Chain A
Amino acid sequence: MSETATLSGLNAWVREFAALVDEHKEELTRLDSAIGDGDHGINMERGMAAVLAALDGAETPSSAALLKNVGMTLVSAVGGASGPLYGTFFLRLASACGEVTEVDADTFAKAVRAGLDGIVARGKAESGDKTMYDALAPAADALDEALAGGSSLRAALEAAADAAEAGRDATSPMPARKGRASYLGERSVGHQDPGATSAALLFRAAASVLG
């Protein structure tokens, strides 16, 4: 088992995320219909299909080049709030991973943290707002904690994916305070957040192919 995220590993991560989004697109759209405008699955599926097409046609000699390509494609293909947010996550991840072909576990965890900070800067979400942040922040914390405790990258990503899914589940009882769901106020209670749901897929994808 590798202790680093290789270029081919990162590539596989993005492809696995695309596959999970495709598999779950109807669920994402159904969740978004309940408290948003019913297009999260459609938009993410379109964005990740564009990412796969972009990766197939591009030379990506480094982690930064690969992840920047993913981020720019998402910004220009998704629209809505998800495009800038997921795009910013991958662009920050790209800068933090750097022009290398192999990213060690600590650098990867720092990059995830940088990506999360980017999402906060763009979306101004906080814990408990019922957004993707509620899945991503616990995942980043769990990743740091597991690595500090001596876990392998793969095991730490498993812990992060579990934390993201727990964070996703915890969005159900929250009233939304950001995005279109916030217009519903208390009526958003009892519905799982679609953004937190797709964000949990991102970490599940990482746990199954990275490290």
Chain B
Amino acid sequence: MKKLINEPADVVSEALLGIEAAHPELKIDHASKVIYRGDAPVSGKVALISGGGSGHEPLHGGFVGPGMLDAACAGEMFTSPVPEQMLTATKAVDGGAGVVHIVKNYTGDVMNFEMAAELAAAEAGIDVVSVVTDDDVAVQDSLYTAGRRGVGVTVILEKIVGAAAEQGRPLAEVADIAKLVNANGRSMGMALTSCTVPAAGKPTFELAEDEMEIGIGIHGEPGRRRVPLAPAKEIAEMLVEPILSDLPFTSGDPVIAFVNGMGGTPLIELYLMYNEVARILGGHGVGIARSLVGPYITSLEMAGCSVTLVKATDDLLALWDAPVNTPALRWGV
């Protein structure tokens, strides 16, 4: 294992010290491992909280700030944060208009956020609405799985819903927009290499030089199938076609297209992939209204990418374009 770390056990807490040093506009609660926007709580505004295991940076801490999240709770590496963290954050950001919890659909995340929401209601009477993202088409949504994983849509959702909250829209409307974005979004990912959790010290799985894994999540867990390595244009087909067959796009529907890097793939390859994705979408008559390219929801140093498509409306596009000022996404400010 070659990593820029001191001790494996200190990676999360020392990264939080770095975020604090680099971003004085944020507030960090080191004991609870929560990142807050500097002016939280914002009175009268619906507050947005997300969180999850660490190792997916910039998700979620890099998306804290005006126009996006009010707080992000950092768990241990690839491990959901605990209820106390979300409870602390919920009490700290509540500006009297209610709180939305944005939860990626993983068994642990759902359970810990659920316990936190129960405690927030019981201890402080705070109105919490939980929205679960489950956009990964690699997982069959059936009684026989934990349901689809929350992946790339989470980034798009946090941006759009953050803008809606910033505009002062009420809790029910903000939560409905979040549910709409999730319902309109689908993702599919692939890996060229595994990743190494610092405390484990060795790669979570092994992939040969000439193999790739299709249908991976964001925790170094193996995917649906292992296939021989192929050119980018074929990989793009393997990612985009399952999305299009799962979420029928009518010709002319505007979409937000997001090509995400898993952490170890350079931007030049992501743009190459974006070109392939755009070509396939063009062939289906799907118009790209907005794009996002880069490593935004990662799996440590895993090489690979994911593709996310969100069917947009004029309102969703206007919210996407609204100003945002966070460490990882910043425009219009």
Contact = CB atoms under 8 A, between A and B. Distances in A.
Contacts of A43: 76, 79
B171 interface: no
Interface string B119-152: 0000000000000000000111001111001000
Given A43-B79, A177-B145, A182-B146, A75 B115 contact: yes
Contacts, number: 107
A63 B75 CA distance: 31
Contact of B199 (A42, A85, A182, A184): A42
A94 B82 CA distance: 20
A89 to B, nearest CB: 13
A3 B79 CA distance: 40
Given A38-B197, A183-B138, A80 B84 contact: no
B76 A123 contact: no
Nearest to A36: B221
B108 interface: yes
Which of the four size classes fits the interface of chain A?
A: 20 to 34
A185 interface: yes
Contacts of A29: 200
B220 A37 contact: yes
Nearest to B223: A183
A76 interface: yes
B111 A123 contact: yes
A75 B82 contact: yes
A177 B144 contact: yes
Interface string B91-108: 000000000000000111
A190 to B, nearest CB: 13
Contact of A39 (B82, B112, B197): B197
Most buried by A among B107, B205, B219, B223: B107
Given A83-B82, A180-B221, A185-B140, A33 B111 contact: no
Nearest to A180: B221
Most buried by B among A76, A79, A179, A183: A183
Interface string A53-79: 000000000000000000000011111
Given A183-B138, A184-B222, A178 B107 contact: yes
Contact of B219 (A46, A82, A180): A180
Most buried by B among A29, A84, A179, A187: A84
Given A122-B111, A123-B111, A180-B221, A42 B144 contact: no
B112 A185 contact: no
A81 interface: yes
A37 B221 contact: yes
A187 B223 CA distance: 9
B109 to A, nearest CB: 9
Most buried by A among B80, B81, B108, B220: B108
A179 B107 CA distance: 5
B82 A81 contact: no
A183 B204 contact: no
A79 B199 contact: no
Contacts of B205: 33
B330 interface: no
Interface string B4-41: 00000000000000000000000000000000000000
Interface in B168-214: 197, 199-200, 204-205
Contact of B75 (A33, A79, A185): A79
A80 B221 contact: no
Contacts of A175: 144
Contacts of A75: 82-84, 115
Given A37-B204, A37-B220, A38-B220, A182 B144 contact: yes
B112 A83 contact: yes
Interface string A15-46: 00000000000000100010011110011001
19 contacts: A33-B204, A37-B197, A37-B221, A39-B76, A42-B197, A43-B79, A75-B82, A75-B84, A77-B82, A79-B53, A79-B76, A79-B80, A80-B79, A81-B80, A84-B112, A84-B115, A180-B146, A183-B221, A187-B224
Pick the 9 closest A-B CB pairs, nearest first: A80-B108, A81-B108, A182-B145, A37-B219, A84-B111, A79-B79, A81-B107, A80-B79, A38-B204
Interface of A: 29, 33, 36-39, 42-43, 46, 75-85, 122-123, 175, 177-180, 182-185, 187
Given A29-B200, A37-B197, A175-B144, 8 more contacts: A75-B84, A79-B76, A79-B81, A81-B106, A177-B144, A182-B145, A185-B140, A187-B222
